[in-house]
Chain A
Amino acid sequence: MSRVALLVLVHGSPRPTANEEMFKVVERVRIRNLYPIVQVGFLECNEPDIAKAIDLCVEQGATEIRAVPYFLHTGTHVAQDLPELLEAGGKRHPQTTFLLGDFLGRSRHLTDILAERTRSTECP
């Protein structure tokens, strides 16, 4: 039976408060119960790192990992570092299917949020 994990790939920050809103968003994903496993992994600064997060997904029984970069831009992290980390995960866990989604910044939902933030000045 397949068991799919949604793995959120996050940059990480030395400031403890920097991840609070991301964790709130991930909690909203979790409570929708669309993915039996929802896991966060950090590129830098915070734990678990992405390699560990991949291992945690597999430990929780993931047969397929769908990774989504929580990034706004196609920087070198999105274009190079994250695919390399997933490939390394695939070598450690050859029985697991690894898929990579678009980075967050590509989503049209963000246009709607930007529009709402912009309009927030009109009706104070």
Chain B
Amino acid sequence: MIKISAHFVLTIAMGLVLSMADAYAAKKKKPVVVLKPAIVVAPNFEFSQAVVERDGLLQIMNTMTCDSSLRSVCQSQCRAPACEWPEPLCRDCLGTGSEVMREIFSRLSIEYHATDSIDSDELIRTLVARTIKLTRKSPYDVYNSSTDPDLGSHLQLLCGSPDGLVGVMYDEDHRPTHATLVACNTPQGWRVRVLERKIEPKLLNP
């Protein structure tokens, strides 16, 4: 079971510095955009995902607990300060046919880069209702053998820790469409980043 305990501290300064650095490197043309107030938010919650056997069924279950500062958000999303919910159907995810899953498990940090942070309201809403959540222990990973660098190495590169999750958006047929965020449990607390498919080829000597 993956357990990501997250105590968010208000790391305004650090958040600013990190986000600016990332964003500057990635989006040289418009570095000003990153200076949004959203980056200062640090959610206090616990999130875990595990495969459990319940009522004779193996299920991927997510668990989230919010502290007092986020209780109202959790209340609105889960109708309780803590909630547990099964992962939604992820169509074609168990197999090699989904080009999105293939890209996420094998090339996430090459194809995407982390940009802005995200506010806690939005994060919880996204986690609960709109995404498939992948961790390094996800049963959907049919791409990496036990000796390959797995999703954890991509998380490490994108948000600073191999422990975390990738949120993947899905369409109305429940097929994954793209990775939307990464959340890492770092020694400094949670780092949550929006992902953007933005890798710029650079002409060096035209």
A and B from one complex? no
Chain A residues with CB under 8 Å of chain B are: none
Chain B residues with CB under 8 Å of chain A are: none
